[in-house]
Amino acid sequence: MISHSEKYNTYSPITEWDICVGCDSSRVKELCRNCGHGVCNEKQCCQIFPHVNGTNYAICKSCTRTIEKKLVAIVNHDELRLLKKKIHSRIKRTIEKIESSE
């Protein structure tokens, strides 16, 4: 029976001798869904995300860094102004409550 990890490996199935590309010491548990390299499930070697049917979606640290470089943060300034107004009004109400209770 083919394991979940082996199903996505385009190179060769995982064997008991395969070593993680991240730490070079642990046995391979998952395959990177981006490059196909084997990784153990440790945080320093890969990012693991929940996937369909209780499976994992693993991405090795090398691919994670490459993907992170391509990400761009988008800031909606209108929502940011609204948030600042809400914070300011809450602070003002808190101050008024404190002053009225004195």
Model confidence at 95, pLDDT cuts 50, 70, 90, reads: very high
Does the reported pTM lie above 0.75?
no
Residue 77 has pLDDT above 80, yes or no: yes
pLDDT at 15: 65
pLDDT at 36: 85
Model confidence at 54, pLDDT cuts 50, 70, 90, reads: confident
On average, the pLDDT of the chain sits at 82
Q: Is 37 exposed, middle or buried (0-12, 13-18, 19+ CB in 10 A)?
A: buried
Residue 8 has pLDDT above 60, yes or no: no
Q: Is the dihedral of CA 48, 51, 70, 78 positive or negative?
A: negative
Model confidence at 13, pLDDT cuts 50, 70, 90, reads: low
Average pLDDT over residues 23-47: 85
Would you kindly state where each structural domain of the chain is located, as residue ranges?
4-70
Residue 74 has pLDDT above 70, yes or no: yes
* The pair of three-digit structure tokens given for residue 34, joined into one six-digit string: 């981006």
